[in-house]
Amino acid sequence: MRRPLRRLLGVLAAFAIAFTVSGPAAAAPRTSAAEVTPLSTSTPVVFVHGYTGSASNWVTAMSVFRTKGWSSDRLFAYEYNSYGNNVSNAQGLASFVQNVKSRTGASKVAIVNHSMGGLVSQYYLKVLGGNANVSHLASIAGANHGTTYAGACLIYVTCQQMYPGSSFISQISSGDETPGSTAYATWYSACDGIILPYTSTRLDGADNNPVACQTHIGFLADTSVLGDIADFIS
């Protein structure tokens, strides 16, 4: 009886091994929706330069955005008079955004600004009600609460408006600094050197991102920060 019993046990063991190897496979790990949903790069992006800047300031930024999936016909640079009035500059931005919406068929745009472009953008979004047309606002070293550096050019009205404590600064910073459903984010650095104090860029209610050490102009070529901004918008 031992041999048949031994043979039976052997057969049962072989069956168990075969079942383990060829039995039902373990369920594959689930993939989250975030992992399978492609980034949205259809939102037109409007870049707003700073004091004495121009569209050329955004060459690197546009290159980074194209790498992230944006097409060139979705990237726009707004130029304005650095020595004029930021109220007029904001009104010009309002017209520019409307034109971009008409050209692209988009219901909203994203805005990326630098330096004094922060004042132009904030006035447009807050005072002129532009937040209804803007899905995301990213401010890079924006002079959102002014900079004492503007004391060097107070001959110009834009610099007067950019000086901390000006009536212009009070108008855009009083009450809700991040109105509407727009997603706001800022990037700033203690190494800025132009925005003084450097924390002036921060906006209450925004996603405020300190950068370890970057100069004011260096931000415009910082592909890491610019990549983060593209990810924020997408």
Measured between alpha carbons, how far is 225 from 232 in angstroms, rounded to an integer?
A: 10
Mean pLDDT of 149-163: 98
pLDDT band at 234 (very low <50, low <70, confident <90, very high): very high
Measured between alpha carbons, how far is 64 from 140 in angstroms, rounded to an integer?
A: 15
Mean pLDDT of 96-109: 98
Better-scored residue on pLDDT, 154 or 31: 154
Contact indicator for 229, 140 with CB cutoff of 8 Å: yes
Alpha helices, DSSP H, located in the chain = 2-22, 33-36, 59-67, 86-104, 117-122, 157-162, 167-173, 223-233
Burial class, 22, CB count within 10 angstroms (exposed 0-12 / middle 13-18 / buried 19+):
exposed
Q: Is the pLDDT of residue 25 over 60?
A: no
23-32, 105-114, 138-147, 190-199: lowest mean pLDDT where? 23-32
Q: Is the pLDDT of residue 139 over 80?
A: yes
